[in-house]
Amino acid sequence: MAGHVWGARVLVAALTPLIAALTLSSGVAFSQTPAGASGHWEGAIQVPAQEIKIEIDLSGTAGKWEGTITIPAQNLKGLPLSAVAVTGETVTFAIGGIPGEPTFKGAVSKDGKTLAGDFSQGGGSVPFSVVRTGEAKIERPPKSTPVTKDVEGSWEGGVEINGKTLRLLVKLANQPDGAATGTITSVDQGGAVIPIAAVVQTDAHLKLVVPAVIGNYDGDFKDGQLTGTWSQGPNSWPLVLKRAK
């Protein structure tokens, strides 16, 4: 979405200006120091003629790691990382579901204070460097629940901004483990598909949590449609979702 909507014009548009044509797969390395790989890291991605401030949070032990990334200039906060792995002095992680497969790969210094390496997306790469400033600060989204049959499926609607309608396509589906998953597509912004981190239904109320664009949807199912509000950062807009044709 334009402006503040859809996280600086959809996450793709938010990341592309940072690193036009780079690729983020799942590889960044940290050395096994007393401080470990866990922590809150602050620094920047070095792009031509400027640097993009970033914050990375990593937490875990052995083969179980998780993390988030924050990019203040793009109004992105706590975006979940995928494929986080720590092997010896190497840590790798990716941002799943984003075109160009953004990936960080680096190494922690022997004193455990610095993590430096390469950020890649879409076939190109640029250096990044971050400094450990404290403990990890990972805010986890609520756990997803199943959704009822009248809510499961595909929905479409639009947000009115400055006289223009930005169309959204929402898909929700229950999984074998009992929890629902979903995606949101911004039809008028390149059709980027953004994963929904949490799908929570309580009676007729539905909440969708989309940290990739710092967005939330709160709506109620009634008369065959979902009527609610799309919120993003400090802004919010009415959003009615109807069954997709």
pLDDT in tens, 82-111: 889 998 889 999 987 666 788 999 999 999
Positions of E strands within 81-152: 82-87, 90-94, 102-108, 114-121, 124-134
Supply the pTM of this predicted model: 0.63
Same fold across 6-134 and 153-243: yes
**What does the pLDDT look like over 55-88, one tens digit per residue?**
999 998 877 899 999 888 876 778 888 889 998 8
pLDDT higher than threshold 90 for residue 237: yes
Pairing of strands 198-202, 39-47: unpaired
Q: Where are the domains of the chain?
A: 6-134, 153-243
Q: How far apart are CA 139 and CA 150, in angstroms?
A: 31
Q: What is the pLDDT of residue 97?
A: 64
Q: How far apart are CA 37 and CA 57, in angstroms?
A: 10
**What does the pLDDT look like over 169-224, one tens digit per residue?**
999 999 999 999 999 998 988 888 888 989 999 999 999 998 777 789 999 999 99
CATH class of 153-243: mainly beta
Over residues 37-57, mean pLDDT: 93
Residue 19 pLDDT class (50, 70, 90 cuts): very low
Over residues 124-136, mean pLDDT: 95
Is 6-134 a domain of CATH 2.130.10.10? no
Burial of 2 (0-12, 13-18, 19+ CB in 10 A): middle
Residue recorded with tokens 């950020």: 119
Over residues 231-240, mean pLDDT: 87
Residue recorded with tokens 């960044």: 28
**Exposure string (b/e) for 174-196, b if CB count within 10 Å is 16 or more?**
beeeeebbbbbbbebbeebebbb
Residue 154 pLDDT class (50, 70, 90 cuts): very high
Calculate what percentage of the chain has a pLDDT beyond 90: 57
